[in-house]
Structure 1
Amino acid sequence: MSAGTAETRAALPTALAAALEGYEDHLRTQRDLSDHTVRGYVTDAVSLLDHLARRGGGQVHDLDLATLRSWLAQGRTRGHGRATTARHAASARSFAAWLRRAGLIPEDVGLRLVSPKAHRTLPDVLAPDQARAVVESAAGAEEPIGLRDAVVLELLYASGIRVSELVGLDIDDVDRSRRLLRVLGKGGKERSVPYGVPAEQALDAWLTRGRPALAVPGSGPALLLGARGRRLDPREVRRTVHSAVAGTDGAPDIGPHGLRHSAATHVLEGGADLRSVQELLGHASLATTQIYTHVTVERLRAVHAQAHPRA
């Protein structure tokens, strides 16, 4: 939470602040959301409650549809785009629904709140040859950091897991006999994700020659370690990926999530069905996975436009 948001939260009327605390506790304990997601919802709720207070509301039962609409309108006057407005509307509906379930307001005032649908932009993805160049950019390294970077790149592309899932892996989460990763995803949901032979080779090099050189008494069971022997920081993973991508001719500027997009796209292009890709990525809804079908169609159109004589 930013300093500005913290100051705004501290200045909320007592009743509004108490409701916000209850909502945050609900997000953490009942919905078991990640810290990042909780911060997003709470930041939006702080902004909404501050807007309510500035309109003279000192209790959550003062929240009505007109307040929700004026809050979104205020954001648009400040330059918020469709995607941001849609996200704020979703946050407002979530907060209002919780207030109603908690018995703090007589009706769910968010049910009638509409917002523009966010434009779903297609993610940048690597071409297969670019992905190969990226993941092999650290191949042949012998120093511990280079061995670690090699396994980071191989695992991200091989499995399509998130950065948080990668750095959260412990040694016991790797089933090397079956080449499976036990991954703890969003909402505490566990899934098994396969990886291939190149990733296994990089893992073997890391575990036999890299990790032992960096491990310290406080390393614990973490699979991946930083230079000081502690669990690898996600920021270091992002630097590793950006550096590898920057050294690849023609590759779009992507980070770890771009490798995830690329992995999903290439698996679909290789003939996998959408339901299998959903399981691989750990998406709660198939609708989230469907964006990758749009990516592959766009790539098909581009190939068609270049190759077909009557395109």
Structure 2
Amino acid sequence: MHITRAIQQFLANIAVERALSANTVAAYRRDLGKYAGHLQARGRDDVAAVSGEDVASFSERLVEEGMARTSVARALAAVRSFHRFAFDEDMTSVNPAAGVKPPKPGTRLPKALTVPEVNALLDAASEQEGAIGIRDRALLEVLYGTGARVSEAVGLTADDIDLSERSIRLFGKGRKERVLPLGSYAADAVAAYEVRARPELAARGDGTPALFLNTRGRPLSRQSAWGIIQTAAHRAGLEHVTPHSLRHSFATHLLQGGADIRVVQEMLGHASVTTTQIYTKVSAQTMREVYVTSHPRALHE
């Protein structure tokens, strides 16, 4: 059976017999349309003529074209479902996709800011006038100074910070509590916010205990915190900065400064040290720079 006709029958089957959603069927149609074009370019017009090599080469081609590995895995899942259908319907005597595995997901290194970039971001947060600029600076100082998730930061109450002890209490996933030291920069920024800005914002609301407040005196949302970071990044001339960028930078800078990975694990609230180990990965360029500047026989005099 011609490949395009076989695909049409498969799409009709998942739409009617399996009652999949229109969006799911549309996604299958897009992925299988690419697959059909790939097969026809290799001279495979009949579904019975497709080999395992044809299926594997489709996956490899998508990777080479720069498609995200998660998207490649999704496309390959569509291809596997199609060939299983074709085999069950006696269109083919074998299932060529049965032994083809999706590409392993690549490990994405976190994007850490440099220390000068962090300083520029923090300074940019202060450029807003009045109470808002003071609040924004305090929020970013807390995020970078503690490695808090943005949800943890916006969930803080005034009682969660002890300025006399310079400590902060965070509630992570599953409301698991951890108490961390609060650096002097973050402590000073929070103190300034509590004295000079929060009372003004709180007067507009209904007495919420939340530490960080919006312009209506209500608890700051995650979306608003994201916007604050994006605005500061734009002013600082930085791209691709997210709330997690500050968390990544916190962990990376601690490890670069010699902190023990187990300590960093506790501070980040990771259940397993394997989650934290991603921050220990360094690029080949960084490794080369360290080698060249540190090893006595790396370069000739």
TM-score bracket for this pair, using the shorter chain length? 0.5 to 0.7
Mapped pair 1:240 → 2:222: no
Mapped pair 1:134 → 2:124: no
Mapped pair 1:286 → 2:270: no
Which residue number corresponds to residue 141 of structure 2?
154
Q: Secondary structure at the match of 2:281?
A: helix
The 1:212–1:255 alpha-carbon spacing in structure 2 relative to 1, beyond 3 Å, is same
> Per-residue CA shift, 1:72-128, capped at 9, x if unaligned?
988964887423566999xxxxxxxxxxxxxxxxxxxxxxx9753211122221111
Mapped pair 1:229 → 2:208: no
CA contact (8 A) 2:171 2:177 kept: yes
The 1:239–1:57 alpha-carbon spacing in structure 2 relative to 1, beyond 3 Å, is closer
Structure 2 CA distance, aligned partners of 1:195 and 1:171?
Answer: 14
CA contact (8 A) 2:163 2:191 kept: no
Letter in structure 2 aligned against 1:264? A
Q: TM-score, normalised by structure 1?
A: 0.62
Consecutive unaligned residues of structure 1, counting only runs of 5 or more, are 1-50, 59-71, 90-112
Letter in structure 1 aligned against 2:248? H
Which residue number corresponds to residue 94 of structure 2?
none
CA contact (8 A) 1:181 1:193 kept: yes
Structure 1 CA distance, aligned partners of 2:69 and 2:178?
Answer: 34
Letter in structure 1 aligned against 2:212? L
Q: TM-score, normalised by structure 2?
A: 0.64
Which residue number corresponds to residue 254 of structure 1?
241
Count of residues paired in the alignment = 229
- The partner residue of 1:166 within 136, 153, 156 is 153
> Per-residue CA shift, 1:166-215, capped at 9, x if unaligned?
11111111122222221111222221222200111110110011000011
Structure 2 CA distance, aligned partners of 1:138 and 1:285?
Answer: 33
RMSD: 3.8
Letter in structure 2 aligned against 1:212? P
Aligned-pair CA distance for 1:154:
0.5
CA contact (8 A) 1:269 1:296 kept: no
Mapped pair 1:271 → 2:258: yes
Mapped pair 1:199 → 2:186: yes
Mapping for residues 202-217 of structure 1, pairs under 5 Å: 202-215=189-202, 216-217=204-205
Letter in structure 1 aligned against 2:190? L
- The partner residue of 1:145 within 121, 132, 151 is 132
Structure 1 CA distance, aligned partners of 2:161 and 2:75?
Answer: 39
Mapped pair 1:178 → 2:173: no
Q: Secondary structure at the match of 1:290?
A: helix
Letter in structure 2 aligned against 1:218? D
Which residue number corresponds to residue 98 of structure 1?
none
Structure 1 CA distance, aligned partners of 2:13 and 2:269?
Answer: 37
Consecutive unaligned residues of structure 2, counting only runs of 5 or more, are 1-11, 20-26, 35-61, 77-99
Structure 2 CA distance, aligned partners of 1:199 and 1:151?
Answer: 7
What's the % identity of the aligned pairs?
40
Structure 2 CA distance, aligned partners of 1:75 and 1:274?
Answer: 44
Structure 1 CA distance, aligned partners of 2:68 and 2:129?
Answer: 47
The 1:309–1:236 alpha-carbon spacing in structure 2 relative to 1, beyond 3 Å, is farther
Mapped pair 1:117 → 2:128: no
After the TM superposition, which of the residue ranges 79-88 and 283-292 deviates more from structure 2? 79-88
The 1:206–1:118 alpha-carbon spacing in structure 2 relative to 1, beyond 3 Å, is same
Letter in structure 1 aligned against 2:216? R
- The partner residue of 2:177 within 184, 190, 215 is 190
CA contact (8 A) 1:268 1:274 kept: yes
Aligned-pair CA distance for 1:309:
4.3
